[in-house]
Structure 1
Amino acid sequence: MMVKIRKMRPLKKAIQELESTGVLPLNVQDEVLAADISVNEQILKQVFENCSDIVFRPICANRQTKMLLIYIDGLVDTKIVEQVVLKPMMFEGMPDGLKQADSIGEIIQDQLVAITQVKAVSKVREVSDAVLKSNLAVLTDGENQALLADIKGFEKRSIEEPSAELSVRGPRDGFTETLRVNTSLVRRRIRSPRLKMEPYSIGDLSQTDIAISYIEGIASNTVLEEVRQRVRRIQIDGILESAFIEEFIEDLPYSPFPQIQNTERPDVVCASLLEGKVAIFVDNTPFVLIVPMTFWTGVQAAEDYYERSIFTSFIRFVRFTLINISLFLPSLYVAVTTYHPQLIPTNLLISIAAAREGIPFPTVVEALMMEFLFEGLREAGVRLPKAVGSAVSIVGALVIGQASVQAGIISAPMVIIVATTGISSFSFPRYNLGTAYRVLRFPMLLLSGILGLYGVAFGALAMLIHLTNIRSFGVPYLSPVAPQIPRNLKDVLMRAHRWKMTNRPVMISGEEKMRIPKGQQPGPKQGDQTE
């Protein structure tokens, strides 16, 4: 077997400068690899200086060809390195019957390395970037190319049920912190070549892998191109979580309402893709971003689509009622008791007045104190360990509430109002939309304490105007209610039967608007009736 060796030394000048000054040139990573393996090793060791987790493993293949393996300890499967690379090269030697090859690298790439993804690169930067992305780099003496083998082997979390989006009925698997595991969970559900996964890398230092996923023909080209442009223009040193991406691509960063949906559930992502939305997968986080987002998406749970439509419609009515209670109940109580007591029935008014006798604070101050205390208990319950978090929040609420009433600082009706508001706030299926309502509750209280019911009406009108002006990647936030699209109203306040929802959302989807053919209403066939 004849192997042609090309002798090239593009890094010779960099080596000479390194030996004379002790400093590596800044542009050395843009240079082409040298044919001398010792030159490449010296340069790469200087690039990875003081990186104790970078392993340089020299070997001798077939007792005559020098090779160098470079990888990160802990991010590469060392068993595969030993069985597939080291053992064949060092002990078994070149197998008989190999075809004519131009280089040792070609032999390794095509005939020896039994790894699914192997490619050749020729620049120092390509080698260093690949090693940092958990690849194995193989350099051969006499070759000005390096082989990169994808043999990732880092520790990863197993697939578990999402803790923030629980459901009684539905899939139990959730996303993990590994990008390819997450994309595979979606690919298992949508087995079509039209499901696309466009790769990107963001972050000058982190080089975080992300994937933009959509279904070709169903996703809107306008929305898709807008997502691409917003992702490409991100310039940052590192991406640690999908929230970093979210803050860079949302339409109105100062709005309390979220314009990008995040989820840990693969079924939610698949359902969104089938509607024409675009999903953004980010490595090292289990949360996937979905755009565009509407207000109605934030108040719909995944379980709504796994139960019968009659039950789901009833649950949605209860949920919408609780959502409104969580925002307006404290402010309405303050406005009515302070400025409009004539609206309260006489017996109830007497009861409230008797409970408030001796209370030193106005009603609005009372409400703000209790709301702030409730938010503090909720935050404490989240930050404390799970074993004591819920117990502390419950005991704290009971003890402080009861002690405040007995001490005459807070009235009993206010404790009831705040407790009802807190319970109602837990009905939000999406945590980020619930957070927006929690924030808005305080300005609504201030408006009601200053202007009474006029303040409540003013706050509600201002919020409604703001909601109608929000756009998420060009899609109105309140669509299909404002602007009204009658054929898409079947899945807003109530959920129609699945066989009635024949069309995808008009404002979101692309060319294929039809989802289900008409005429699939179930019923007994003629002639099936028994006599």
Structure 2
Amino acid sequence: MLGRNIFRRRKMKQEYATGENFSTTLGIDLEKNLQDLQVMLGNPGDLVIRRLMLGANVGAAVVFINGLSNTEDIHNDLLKNLQRNREKESDSRTPEEMLNQLQLDLISISSIEKTNSLDALTLKLLSGKSIVYVDGVAEALMLGTEKWESRSIEEPVSESVIRGPREGFIENLQTNMVLIRRHIRDPNLRFETSEVGRRSKKKLVVCYMEGIVNPDIVKEVNRRLSSIDMDSAMESGYIEQWIEDSYLSPFPQMDNTERPDKVASSVLQGKVGILLDGSPFALIAPITIDNSFKSPEDYYDRWLIGTFLRIIRYIGAFITMFLPALYIALVSFHQGMIPSQLAFSIAATREGVPFPAFVEAIIMGFTMELLREAGARLPKTIGQTIGIVGGLVIGEAAVSAGIVSPIMVIVVALTAVASFTIPLYSVAISFRLLRFGFMLAAAVLGLYGIVLVYIMINIHIVNLKSMGIPYSTPFAPTFIKDWRDMVLRAPIPMLNKRPESLKSKDKRSGNLRR
């Protein structure tokens, strides 16, 4: 008998270690069920097993993971009730009747489930639930006693605004769902929950408005999510990269945000939100290229201010991608296009510089990216100081040493500042990467090279899609009515219809648009 149990333990451990998904049902023997659970988990030190008696003859056990479960709820709403009941009840009940009475009468916990599967029981235990076994019953109760530490709701770090809500998502999925419900108190708001990761079994929620969203978009999102096959999704970026249309594209095909108000507004617009447990960033799909230049703050200020800010962002994106390349092309190939006084000034500043304009731009651009990355990784108290002071010191030293010209320092600094005007961080990085491609093309073919690369990027954008929606919408295909909320932001009373490209079931809208 002992040899048989040892062989069974080894077999279960081997199957669990190799990741095979075996299914084991519970038996009626309490000690055997506890032994199987310990073998499954490897008998960890934080596994708590509290044995007790129900009546005079029936044994029971309460099992939970220390740190994942709320011990106060277990003590007050479970153990106390069981101990008091043992003193009052007679011993005439069968084990099945005791288990049913525990579920219906004695346990003061709102969420109670019953199972006979060891796999399901283990998954719930590792999620923070506590388990109640009763000797003589081949089933167990799973109690909703989850509780683990999480940070408080704070202002979003990556999307700060002057005017607007100051609350952002955190790593707790339930809290994030509540934050969205605070903005949308509509019974048609849907949260579809599933699991992702063969081993992590993390909860993933798809959020949308029934009666507004196009059902084909929800179906496509769910189809792609069901195809995910990985051990664990540590962050929503894993989900984004798995289900996006083209992983080779430099442009993100989904928006990621820390702001509940942005997710709520997008859902009301007819889009789909994706929330992952453990990640403070939610995904929004589908998106188009013009979403990269929109910020929630555009709608909280008057339309003239919102329009002005968007124009600034478009100009900033143009400077980010084209300014260094234009400087290289004009200085190296098209000097005749530069006004005479400016040409003389540039020639005077470049006197004695040993490198061509392209090498200058690469050196300074790469140095600026190094400083930006270093400033992001350093502690907040010194990160910004290092970025600013480091740029000034290195730029001044490079000019004094005759390595680069002063105007190149101005061009690179203006390019770096302009990149911060783009609200979506992932799009800003894409533009910064494309800038080096434009610089290389300008060094080889001048303005013709810039035009060729620009045409190639436009061809790529026109062929790119986000959940089946053309990425270049509403430019191509053209939806004239959607231009009211593109470069120009029309007054709020005029934004009374949802985007035509989303093919929403309810076309009219009194809500803000993103």
Task: Give 3-state SS (helix, strand or coil) of 2:114's partner.
Answer: strand
Matched, 1:361 2:348: no
1:45 aligns with 2:32: no
SS in 2 for 1:391: helix
Cα drift, residue 510 of structure 1: 2.4
Structure 1 residue aligned with 2:175:
181
Q: 2:456 aligns with which of 442, 459, 462?
A: 462
Which consecutive residues of structure 2, in runs of 5 or more, have no partner in the other structure?
none
3-state SS of paired residue (1:105): helix
Residue type at the aligned position of 1:278 = V
Q: Is the counterpart of residue 215 in structure 1 residue 202 in structure 2? A: no
Find the counterpart in structure 2 of residue 521 from structure 1: none
Q: Give yes or no for contact 2:498–2:504 (8 Å, CA) kept in 1.
A: no
Report if aligned partners of 1:294, 1:479 keep a CA contact under 8 Å in 2: yes
Using the alignment, how far apart are the partners of 1:289 and 1:64 within structure 2? 54
Instruction: Using the TM superposition, give the Cα deviation of residue 342 of structure 1 relative to its aligned residue in structure 2, in angstroms.
Output: 0.8
Q: Distance in 1 between matches of 2:9 and 2:179?
A: 49
Shift of 1:17: 2.9
Whether 1:237 and 2:231 are equivalent positions in the alignment is: yes
- Give the TM-score of the pair, scaled to structure 1: 0.92
Contact 1:218 1:509 in 2 (8 A): no
Q: Is the 8 A contact 2:152 2:170 kept in 1?
A: yes
Distance 1:470 1:400, change over 3 A: same
Secondary structure in structure 1 of the residue aligned to 2:501: coil
1:60 to 53, 57, 62: 53
Q: Write the letter of the residue equivalent to 1:360.
A: P
Tell me which of 495, 505, 510 is aligned to 1:501.
495
**In 2, Cα distance between equivalents of 1:110 and 1:71:** 21
Separation (CA, whole Å) in 1 of partners of 2:52 and 2:36: 18
Question: Which residue type is aligned with residue 283 of structure 1?
Answer: D
Q: 1:76–1:152: 8 Å Cα contact kept in structure 2?
A: yes
Name the structure 2 match of 1:122: 116
Q: Does 1:291 align with 2:306?
A: no
Superposed CA offset, 1:353-372 (max 9, x none): 00000100001110111000
Aligned to 2:4: 17
Is the counterpart of residue 425 in structure 1 residue 412 in structure 2?
no
Match of 1:161 among 146, 151, 155: 155
Residue 515 of structure 1 corresponds to which residue in structure 2?
509
Q: Which amino acid aligns with 2:47?
A: I
SS in 2 for 1:156: coil
Q: Which shifted more, 422-431 or 121-130? A: 121-130
Q: What corresponds to 2:259 in structure 1?
A: 265
Query: 1:147-168 deviations in whole A, cap 9, x for unaligned?
Result: 0011111101111110110011
CA distance in 1, matches of 2:420, 2:255: 18
Give the structure 2 partner of residue 86 of structure 1. 79
Query: What letter is aligned with 1:467?
Result: I
Question: Runs of 5+ in structure 1 lacking a partner?
Answer: 1-12, 518-531
The sequence identity of aligned pairs, in percent, is 37
Change (3 A) 1:344 1:54: same
Paired position in structure 1 for 2:430: 436
- Cα drift, residue 20 of structure 1: 5.4
TM-score normalised by structure 2 residue count? 0.94
Please give the alpha-carbon distance, in whole angstroms, between the structure 2 residues aligned to 1:156 and 1:263: 19
Check the 8 A contact 1:364/1:445 in 2, yes or no.
yes
Equivalent position SS for 2:500 = coil
Instruction: Tell me whether 1:492 sits opposite 2:479 in the alignment.
Output: no
- Decide which moves more: 153-162 or 386-395: 386-395
Query: 1:103 aligns to what SS in structure 2?
Result: helix
Other-structure match for 2:476: 482
Deviations 1:431-488 (A, max 9, x none): 0000100100001000001101101111111111111111001101121121111111
Structure 1 residue 94: Cα displacement: 6.2
Root-mean-square deviation (Å): 1.9
- Post-superposition shift, 1:511? 1.2
| Correspondence 1:391 to 2:385 | yes
Q: Partner amino acid for 2:327? A: Y
